[in-house]
């Protein structure tokens, strides 16, 4: 068996039994060419990272930044997408029927709620719960700030974002020309 140079895709040699070598080699080269084209389409290396909140905040009815769950990215291309996963960890000191809290992704100060929210029920008292949401957002060229924010829907109940190890914001930026 032979292998292609870049991706080490195996193919049959002329002395190998089975499929004709020319067909399998051509197929392997075609797959390798397609895979190589995918890696070239990004502006530089893939950007990714995770921000972790190590402090807790008592939630109010106003969206507030989750301390530490903020990332800054710079986009070079005009067709960039960010895949962002926010994980909100909440404790509820006093439960209230019908109460809940939400977590939003803010991109440059604007909530991306139309593409999803993290939602935690605050009906009962609990020590710690975790929920996540993944957003895919288009980003134009330039510098951007991505943040995780949280709030309660009513003044009933007492909830706080949990602090150890904390809520997280993970960003993978696909920066295409």
pLDDT in tens, 121-177: 777 777 677 888 899 999 999 999 999 998 888 887 777 666 556 788 899 888 877
Predicted TM-score of the model (pTM): 0.69
* Neighbour tally for 146: CB within 10 Å: 24
Domain 47-174 falls under CATH 2.60.120.40: yes
Domain ranges of the chain: 2-40, 47-174
Name the pLDDT band for 6 (thresholds 50, 70, 90): low
Rounded-to-integer distance, Cα 163 and Cα 67, Å: 10
């Amino acid at each position: 068996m032979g292998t292609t140079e870049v991706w080490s895709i195996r193919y049959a040699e002329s002395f190998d039994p089975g499929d004709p070598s020319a067909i399998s080699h051509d197929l392997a080269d075609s797959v390798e060419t397609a895979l190589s084209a995918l890696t070239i389409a990004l502006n530089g290396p893939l950007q990714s990272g995770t921000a972790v909140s190590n402090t807790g905040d008592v939630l109010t009815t106003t969206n507030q930044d989750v301390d530490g769950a903020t990332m800054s990215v710079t986009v070079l291309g005009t067709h960039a997408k960010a895949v962002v996963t926010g994980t909100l960890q909440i404790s509820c000191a006093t439960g209230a029927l019908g109460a809940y809290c939400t977590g939003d992704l803010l991109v440059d100060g604007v909530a991306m709620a139309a593409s999803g929210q993290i939602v935690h029920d605050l009906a009962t008292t609990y020590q710690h719960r975790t929920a996540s949401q993944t957003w895919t957002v288009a980003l134009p060229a330039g510098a951007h700030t991505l943040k995780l924010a949280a709030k309660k829907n009513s003044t009933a109940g007492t909830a706080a974002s949990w602090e150890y190890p904390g809520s997280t914001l993970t960003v993978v930026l696909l920066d295409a020309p």
